[in-house]
Amino acid sequence: MTDEQHEGGFRTDMAISVDKGGPRYGEFVESARLFMDRVRAAMPTEELVDDLIDELATINAKLEAVAIDEWNSPSGTRIDLPARGNITLPPYLVNRADATGVDATLRFTRFHLGGNNAAHGGYIGTAFDDLLGMTGALATGKVTRTAYLTVNYRSITPLYTDLSVTTQVTKVDGRKIFVAAQMRDGDRLCAEADGLFIALNPGQP
Ligand SMILES: CCCCCCCC/C=C\CCCCCCCC(=O)SCCNC(=O)CCNC(=O)[C@H](O)C(C)(C)COP(=O)(O)OP(=O)(O)OC[C@H]1O[C@@H](n2cnc3c(N)ncnc32)[C@H](O)[C@@H]1OP(=O)(O)O
């Protein structure tokens, strides 16, 4: 599919894949995530910064040479990988997904640090937005966009802890899909969200 051929804000026909990028693409994404954690935690010397800039220039040139449009890249479509292989998203694993909702396990790491070993609220919202978008898509079989998303932060969300995220469809009214979600550390509620997602019409940007 090319930019010209796609319809709607995302894809009407998701280019779902388990093999783009090859069998080690997931390991590549995990290495990139670990790199982001390491950058966030590092106190490098000036010499090391010089070194790393050069090494990264080489790596970035290799990746620039294989850049591709959003409709065809493995990132976001590798449903066999955490968060569909998309490093923009906090890494989650989907345990159950159907037309009523989704159960996922999510782990924030140093990259997602807000302060004092707790996750940044924006990444909590990012996780909710994506899993609720998935919920809307599974409920309708259509591409959906967020109209609103309200997040309530109830208690501290820890890093390096398996968190459970549960989403539910609360009401469907034509193109409007009302959804809710909770993020928990064990029995403790860390955050909850409610949102409205709109199923896009064909050709809608
Ligand atoms: C085992 C694994 C399985 C895997 C399966 C794979 C599947 C995975 C699938 C997918 C995963 C991907 C997930 C991604 C998720 C990310 C989502 C995002 O972050 S989206 C980016 C942020 N959102 C925007 O940028 C929108 C910007 N806004 C707009 O584009 C429009 O405003 C839009 C589309 C939201 C609505 O515009 P209109 O022109 O289509 O429709 P109008 O007529 O305005 O609204 C429709 C109805 O909704 C109400 N409405 C609209 N916005 C509202 C609001 N904010 N509050 C209350 N009501 C609202 C309206 O009042 C209207 O209601 P009345 O039909 O009259 O009853």
| CB-CB contact of 96 with 134 (8 Å) | no
- Does the Cβ of 89 fall within 6 Å of ligand 1? no
Nearest CA to ligand 1 atom 30: 145
**Residue in 176, 201, 204 to alter for ligand 1 test, most ligand atoms within 8 A of Cβ:** 176
What pLDDT sits at residue 204?
80
* Residue 205 CB–ligand 1 contact under 6 Å: no
Q: What is the pTM of this model?
A: 0.93
Q: Which two tokens stand for residue 33?
A: 């995530």
Whether ligand 1 lies within 6 angstroms of the CB of 147 is answered as yes
pLDDT at 16: 75
CB–CB of 144/177 below 8 Å?
yes
| Ligand 1 centroid – CA 146 distance (Å) | 4
H-helix or E-strand containing 57?
helix 46-64
Cα–Cα dist 149/132, whole Å: 9
CB hemisphere CA count around 103 (13 angstroms): 3
Tell whether the model's pLDDT for residue 55 goes beyond 80.
Answer: yes
68 near 4, Cβ under 8 Å? no
Higher-confidence residue of 7 and 94: namely 94
Residue with the smallest CA separation from ligand 1 atom 7 is: 134
Q: Is the Cβ atom of 146 under 6 angstroms away from ligand 1?
A: yes
Closest CA to 102 of 185, 164, 178, 12: 164
| C-beta of 134 in contact with ligand 1 (< 6 A) | yes
Q: CB of 69 within 8 A of CB of 2?
A: yes
Mean pLDDT of the chain: 93
Tokens for 46? 């000036």
Q: Which residue has the tokens 């990139």?
A: 32
pLDDT given at position 13: 55
- pLDDT reported for residue 205: 74
* Contact 151 CB / ligand 1 (< 6 Å): no
pLDDT tens sequence across 87-140: 999 999 999 999 999 999 999 999 999 999 999 999 999 999 999 999 999 999
Distance 12 CA to ligand 1 centre (A): 14
* Measured distance CA(140)–CA(199) in Å, rounded: 7
DSSP string spanning 117-132? Answer: TEE-HHHHHHHHHHHH
C-alpha 90/C-alpha 33 separation (Å) is: 9
DSSP 8: S
Q: Tell the residue number behind the tokens 């590549």, with chain if given.
A: 28
- Pocket probe for ligand 1: among 16, 102, 145, the residue whose CB has the most ligand atoms within 8 Å is 145
Question: How many angstroms separate the CA atoms of 198 and 142, rounded?
Answer: 9
Q: How far is the CA of 9 from the centre of ligand 1 (A)?
A: 10
Name the residue with tokens 């709607």.
8
ipTM surpassing 0.85, yes or no? yes
